[in-house]
Structure 1
Amino acid sequence: MATIQTDTRFADKVYLLPVNPEYVGSIIESERPDSLMLAYGGQTALNCGVKLDEEGMLEKYGIRVLGTPVSGIRNTEDRQLFKDSMDGCGVPVLKSRTVTDFAGARDAAAELGYPVIVRVAYTLGGKGGGVARNEIELHEIVERGTRASMVGQVLVEEYIGDWKQIEYEVMRDSAKNGVIVCNMENVLSMRVHTGDNIVVAPSQTINNREYHAMRSAALDATAHVGIIGECNIQYALDPASGRFAAIEINPRLSRSSALASKATGYPLAYMSAKIGLGYTLPELANHITKSTTACFEPALDYIVCKHPRWDFAKFELANRRLGVTMKSVGEVMAIGSSFEESLQKAIRMLDTGADGLVLNRNPHETGGDEELEDRLARHDDLILYNVAEALKRGMTVSRIHTLSAIDPWFIEKIARIIEIEGRLRTGSSKELLREAKGAGFSDPQIARASGTMPSKVRQARKDAGITPAVRQIDTLAAEWPAKTNYLYMTYGGAKNDIEAPLPGRDIIVLGAGPYRIGSSVEFDWSTVNMVWGLKEGGGGVAVVNCNPETVSTDYDICDRLYFEELTHERIMDIAEFERPRGVVTCVGGQTANNLTPGLDDEGVPILGTAAANVDRAEDRSKFSSVLDGLHIRQPPWSKLTTCPMPKSSPRRWATP
């Protein structure tokens, strides 16, 4: 009910019912549809479609499945059929065995040797799977996995945790045309599920031979299993030998699809739907260039970094270790001219209190050297901070790579961030300031290094002419000009790609950032509906948001989309370029709302509730004072800023 997809503007009818064979079957009996599309509702929709087919519902009512047929779904979701399909088209897979009980799994593990990876058929986010290092762990994982699987099936596979994890997004039509929309590399190797991994696009550390070998295999594999539309294929790549193996194909849109779509500007869901209706890739136009077709493979002249958001802090006993089962609750996507810039932007976008990888207000504790090495070897949500700390302590890039399986290229980029931090602490110059901004350092980080205020850093760099450029995403690396204002800001550009709009004419709407516990799709609904309402009233609308999974970051929703961080510094950069009639902060949840007082102090006009009244509502003591003044009953209250320990009582709680 909270999503934009249940808004009646998007469909002729909306059924708020469970997506399972019983309820969908009753709708089919009532509506008598011509066709079904299964690729757009994640694993739930796929499993429902397969069950409807097994029950004979589709055949009974003569219903066609548009896009990838049910046979194609089975070929990818059933672990044994997937393995057989890859063998049939010459695409390598890992040594593995499909089993349905612990006895079979024990025999498979004995043959492969521990540790082994257990993957579950017909599930989402690695649900039920895991890494078994002995028979006891294997028994627990297999029992859990067979219960989680729709068909009671798991795959016991050789362990390749130190291999690289590479993904390719593939688009294929019924006329056998196929394109690679995007390839992506997971920073944390195969040890961590891609949903919990830090991902960069395009890949940064594979060579030309490896890239094209996996590209060709992706096209062969998707053709063989019968993909029509969009899919994602995941590989494991041995960095030592160059050997690669296909891990799985998702015959649907996924988190990776949303990321690839927003990273390239290639609207995967739209194109996939058109292909399902019978269009071919040469018949479909590129919506950004408006002069090329969907057969042109995107090229990126920037680097994208996806970073997951975890909310472990809300659960005192949560296991923060990352593995083959996904634990993140949301993610962000940052765009920059370098890995360093996009990584530090992504960290700020998470809205967890960090201003970047280093120079934060509350640095993370990493313990002694032995504990730090253990954390490098066993990834948790603080892995990048642990890498940074290890470099500061003098640990070599080679040692960190051996412990963490993170490619040395990424470690060296983190080392450059640390090297710039050291120079910022000891001096300042115009050249150093420019270099730091190009490496993703925010004004608060630079101010913390030099012991000054962020506002003074901002003024100093503006006086020096160091400001970010507004760049367009054009899908084809400037080979054709972009006709759509899909924008990001970077210190890697010399000039703006677009002209500033007329002052005082347009409105900026701030989105909500990443999904998190307590803030999810409802703010996407409110942001999109706010944009629609403002556009009906006339004038242009710009949206600022950084969540690749949302409709509010579709570039055709508004007049100008800034895929950017929701920080005071960046919103001021955008506001100074846009010179808007006003900024809307009331539909982006707490993240956008918290920016209201600071923007108001800078003279940015706030549309809606005034900043002073936002402060009166959000400040607990001010709000309670308002209630007292209105004689509205409330519990007794007192404003506290410290929590002194009673001298007579021992401490009984853990430090958060």
Structure 2
Amino acid sequence: MNKYRISTPMTVLFLGSGGQKIGQAGEFDYAGYQAIRAFSARKIKTVLVNPNMTAVQTSEGIADATYFLPVTPEFVTGVIEKEKPDSLVICLGGKTAYYCALELERTGILEKYNIQILGTPIETMKTTLCRETFIGTMQESRIPVPESVTVTTPEGALAVTAKTGYPVMVRTDATLNDNAPAVCRNDSELLSFFSDRTEMSDRVTIEEWLGGWKEIELEVLRDAMDNCIVVCSMENLDPVGIHTGDSPIVIPAQTLTDSELQELRRAAFAAVRALNVIGEANLRFAKDPDSAAFRIIEANTSFSRSTALASRASGYQLGHIAAYVALGFSLSEIEHLPAGCGHVCCEPVFDYLMVKVPRWDPWKFAPEDRQLGSVMKSVGQAMAVGKTFCEALQKALRMTGNDIPGLAGHPFTFKDIKEALRNPDHLRLFAVYSALADGWSVDRIYKYTKIDRLYLTTLKEILDIETNLRSLDGPVPADLMRKAKQAGYSDRQIGLCSSLREEQVRALRKELLVRPVVKQLDSRAGMGKNTSNVVYMTYNGATDDTAPLEKGILLPGSGPYHIGSSVEYDWCTVSAAKSLKKSGKIAILVNCNPESLSSDPETADRVYVEEISQERILDIMEAEKPEGIMLSYGGSLTSALALPLSRKGIAVFGTAAENVERVNDRNKFVTL
């Protein structure tokens, strides 16, 4: 085992990720914020370089010194000369921070100023980003990898595919660039890949195609004493071949047997040990659905969207934990803060499901850019928590903010269902549901989508409820109302299926005593007292886990990031919550974005992982009985709720609801 030796840090330099872009948003802000606070708690001076003024971590008072400068070697060297840091943290700024640190190492800046890298060594990051080296390292540890051949010329590539056949997965050496892999199905696509990508790299790896295999991710923690735990397993709904950022994800994985999960767990531990990870890592595996075979696809040793999602799902504050691990603490010495009991050396045990669904802005892209593949195209993500897959999935679909009611009652039509299933785009799930509605069997849908039959069968349960609702001649009976709500149906959905208005459905279910209960996010499955302030609502329960706060202010966030709405609203919401707490008021946050700090347990007195909709806001108001609500910090999503909530007697603080409506309604605004 490689030894991890560091000198006690006095001043630590953090490299941020810079501006937001598709595939890189608030996850680095969230992780960096937690880590900076952890170092500050140990009386270590923190210096941050990040030009993103909308990031919460760049707010006054977070780091001891913040430089709004580009994360480039030239500017970072200037900061090093002035601040004289003795340590550097690079795993919290994505590839922007990594490439900067790589250049600082190459030019001798780190050696000149005697700067140590905390946490996972830079050599490990080099290994994970160089495909040939990574494959070799995994093979040395006897971890199954995709069969691969490295070539340097198009002729060499054609010679390989002449033997292997198509399709193949093709990757360039990612050490010096950020190229995504591509699936090539014929000679023309392969030659096109060479002409487009090889200007930046002269080495191309051709790998066996694992399309149709399940894609499983394991989030792993390892400390310097070689203790390892799996924070959570994550199962992509879509098979290998569709970017994990564009696929719905279920936590924990639902379709693996215990022996299959344990086999992946052993491989993950072997991988992080071979790579000498100190902190967290995300391991991606391909699992053959028809046998015990699996392959490790990738290892990511810096924070990512998956890390943020795993952190939210498990309640393990991975930015905070990784900071303490980098300082030499063992997992058994780090407290599990949100739960209020125990240490993080214990693996989480879930009594709930979390489902992540991508957010799309398809109307801002050309139609040909909407096909799903190995390149990420979604612009954000929403997370939902429930006791069942149906409940969490339908909630997550509504949380994306595209005015989608859920699966049942969706507005989309498909001219050719088979084509929609065979060549998926952002409407893939709705195409699957429509196929079920058209009488397609689960096996036939599986043939074209390779979505596990368990999930397809579960979607059929949602369809059966919709069929029963549409066949009613009278009011919705209590048993069907409860069954629909337990399957994630909203009041609006039930109204769409039963020819009722949303308000009528709400009044009817309250009359039938069908109401949601508040449950804590308990990743210890009842082992010890849970004091977590992160909660969600479900109809699959009988009692509340928490007592009403009966005071305070409700603060809804802005939901998933999308084009035109990013970290700036997160900064506003977090700042408002801090101001409320500073003035002695209780802050209750509502958000569904796993990357945002406004869904972090430290931000508010209570955090709801929930929909930002009129129905759910009313449910929370009834459950918590706060003094009122502030809707100014979540963008258009929350401001649209001002007038409807005000008309229902909810105290809306700030700008009067009528004036908010005048600003949002263009016709009313023009008449001012």
User: Normalising by the residue count of structure 2, what TM-score does the alignment of the two structures yield?
Assistant: 0.90
2:82 equivalent to 1:34: no
2:413 equivalent to 1:413: no
Q: Is the 8 A contact 1:115 1:159 kept in 2?
A: yes
Report the 3-state secondary structure (helix = DSSP H, G, I; strand = E; otherwise coil) of the residue aligned with 1:388. Answer: helix
Q: 1:176 deviation in Å?
A: 0.6
Q: Is the 8 A contact 1:289 1:480 kept in 2?
A: no
Q: Which of residues 422, 425, 429 in structure 2 aligns to 1:377? A: 422
Mapped to 2, the partners of 1:282 and 1:85 lie a distance apart of: 29
2:613 equivalent to 1:567: yes
Kindly provide the CA deviation profile for residues 183-224 of structure 1, in whole angstroms up to 9, marking residues without a partner as x. Answer: 000001102011111100000111111100000100011011
Moved more, 555-564 or 8-17: 8-17
Q: Which of residues 577, 587, 591 in structure 1 aligns to 2:623? A: 577
Q: Which of residues 297, 307, 311 in structure 1 aligns to 2:357? A: 307
Q: Which of residues 488, 504, 513 in structure 2 aligns to 1:456? A: 504
Q: Which residue of 1 aligns with 2:320?
A: 270
Q: 1:141 deviation in Å?
A: 2.0
Mapped to 2, the partners of 1:451 and 1:162 lie a distance apart of: 40
Q: Which residue of 2 aligns with 1:422?
A: 467
Higher relative CO (Cα under 8 Å, sequence separation at least 6) belongs to 2
Q: Is the 8 A contact 1:86 1:221 kept in 2?
A: yes
Q: Which residue of 2 aligns with 1:50?
A: 102
Q: Which residue of 2 aligns with 1:489?
A: 537
Mapped to 2, the partners of 1:276 and 1:294 lie a distance apart of: 15
Q: Which of residues 372, 393, 405 in structure 1 aligns to 2:438? A: 393
Aligned ranges 1:81-480 → 2 under 5 Å: 81-122=133-174, 127-147=179-199, 153-360=203-410, 363-367=411-415, 371-427=416-472, 428-480=476-528
Q: Is the 8 A contact 2:105 2:111 kept in 1?
A: yes
Q: Is the 8 A contact 1:128 1:141 kept in 2?
A: no
Report the 3-state secondary structure (helix = DSSP H, G, I; strand = E; otherwise coil) of the residue aligned with 1:577. Answer: helix
Kindly provide the CA deviation profile for residues 150-206 of structure 1, in whole angstroms up to 9, marking residues without a partner as x. Answer: x55442211111000000000001111111001000001102011111100000111
Mapped to 2, the partners of 1:248 and 1:142 lie a distance apart of: 22
Mapped to 2, the partners of 1:459 and 1:208 lie a distance apart of: 44
Kindly provide the CA deviation profile for residues 16-67 of structure 1, in whole angstroms up to 9, marking residues without a partner as x. Answer: 1221222222222232210111110112112222222222221222111100
2:75 equivalent to 1:23: yes
Q: Is the 8 A contact 2:126 2:175 kept in 1?
A: no
- How many residues in Structure 1 have an aligned counterpart in Structure 2? 617
Kindly provide the CA deviation profile for residues 349-372 of structure 1, in whole angstroms up to 9, marking residues without a partner as x. Answer: 001011101213xx11201xxx21
Mapped to 2, the partners of 1:288 and 1:108 lie a distance apart of: 52
Distance 1:146 1:269, change over 3 A: farther
Q: Is the 8 A contact 1:401 1:408 kept in 2?
A: yes
Report the 3-state secondary structure (helix = DSSP H, G, I; strand = E; otherwise coil) of the residue aligned with 1:470. Answer: strand
Distance 1:131 1:296, change over 3 A: same
Q: Which of residues 663, 667, 670 in structure 2 aligns to 1:617? A: 663
Q: Which residue of 2 aligns with 1:608?
A: 654
Give the partner amino acid of 2:424. H
Q: Is the 8 A contact 2:315 2:339 kept in 1?
A: no
Distance 1:253 1:124, change over 3 A: farther
Mapped to 2, the partners of 1:25 and 1:142 lie a distance apart of: 36
Q: Which residue of 2 aligns with 1:78?
A: 130
Q: Which residue of 1 aligns with 2:593?
A: 547
Give the partner amino acid of 2:252. P
Mapped to 2, the partners of 1:103 and 1:95 lie a distance apart of: 19
Mapped to 2, the partners of 1:125 and 1:426 lie a distance apart of: 57
Mapped to 1, the partners of 2:219 and 2:453 lie a distance apart of: 25
Q: 1:101 deviation in Å?
A: 4.2
Q: Which residue of 2 aligns with 1:635?
A: none
Moved more, 40-49 or 107-116: 107-116
Report the 3-state secondary structure (helix = DSSP H, G, I; strand = E; otherwise coil) of the residue aligned with 2:171. Answer: strand
Mapped to 1, the partners of 2:169 and 2:445 lie a distance apart of: 24
Report the 3-state secondary structure (helix = DSSP H, G, I; strand = E; otherwise coil) of the residue aligned with 1:544. Answer: strand
Mapped to 2, the partners of 1:273 and 1:121 lie a distance apart of: 29
Distance 1:152 1:34, change over 3 A: farther
Q: 1:71 deviation in Å?
A: 1.3
Kindly provide the CA deviation profile for residues 297-338 of structure 1, in whole angstroms up to 9, marking residues without a partner as x. Answer: 011110110001111112344521000111111001000010
| Identical columns (%) | 42
Q: Is the 8 A contact 1:120 1:155 kept in 2?
A: yes
Instruction: Give the 4+ runs in structure 1 shifted more than 6 A.
Output: 123-126
Q: Is the 8 A contact 1:114 1:134 kept in 2?
A: yes
Distance 1:316 1:224, change over 3 A: closer
Mapped to 2, the partners of 1:602 and 1:211 lie a distance apart of: 49
Q: Which of residues 530, 538, 556 in structure 1 aligns to 2:602? A: 556
Mapped to 1, the partners of 2:378 and 2:252 lie a distance apart of: 22
Aligned ranges 1:499-518 → 2 under 5 Å: 499-502=547-550, 505-518=551-564
Q: 1:282 deviation in Å?
A: 0.7
Q: Is the 8 A contact 1:234 1:247 kept in 2?
A: yes
Q: 1:550 deviation in Å?
A: 0.6
Q: Which of residues 557, 580, 590 in structure 2 aligns to 1:534? A: 580
Q: Which residue of 2 aligns with 1:630?
A: none
Q: Is the 8 A contact 2:630 2:654 kept in 1?
A: yes
Q: Is the 8 A contact 1:541 1:559 kept in 2?
A: yes
Mapped to 2, the partners of 1:260 and 1:269 lie a distance apart of: 11
Report the 3-state secondary structure (helix = DSSP H, G, I; strand = E; otherwise coil) of the residue aligned with 2:206. Answer: strand
Distance 1:126 1:423, change over 3 A: farther
Q: 1:123 deviation in Å?
A: 7.4
Moved more, 24-33 or 528-537: 24-33
Q: 1:246 deviation in Å?
A: 0.3
Q: Which residue of 2 aligns with 1:633?
A: none
Report the 3-state secondary structure (helix = DSSP H, G, I; strand = E; otherwise coil) of the residue aligned with 1:263. Answer: helix
Give the partner amino acid of 1:95. E
Q: Which residue of 1 aligns with 2:546?
A: 498
2:639 equivalent to 1:593: yes
Give the partner amino acid of 1:201. I
Distance 1:136 1:589, change over 3 A: same
Mapped to 2, the partners of 1:174 and 1:227 lie a distance apart of: 8
Structure 1: gaps of 5 or more residues: 627-656
Give the partner amino acid of 1:540. I
Distance 1:193 1:124, change over 3 A: farther
Mapped to 2, the partners of 1:606 and 1:120 lie a distance apart of: 54
Q: Is the 8 A contact 1:125 1:326 kept in 2?
A: no
Q: 1:418 deviation in Å?
A: 0.6
User: Normalising by the residue count of structure 1, what TM-score does the alignment of the two structures yield?
Assistant: 0.92
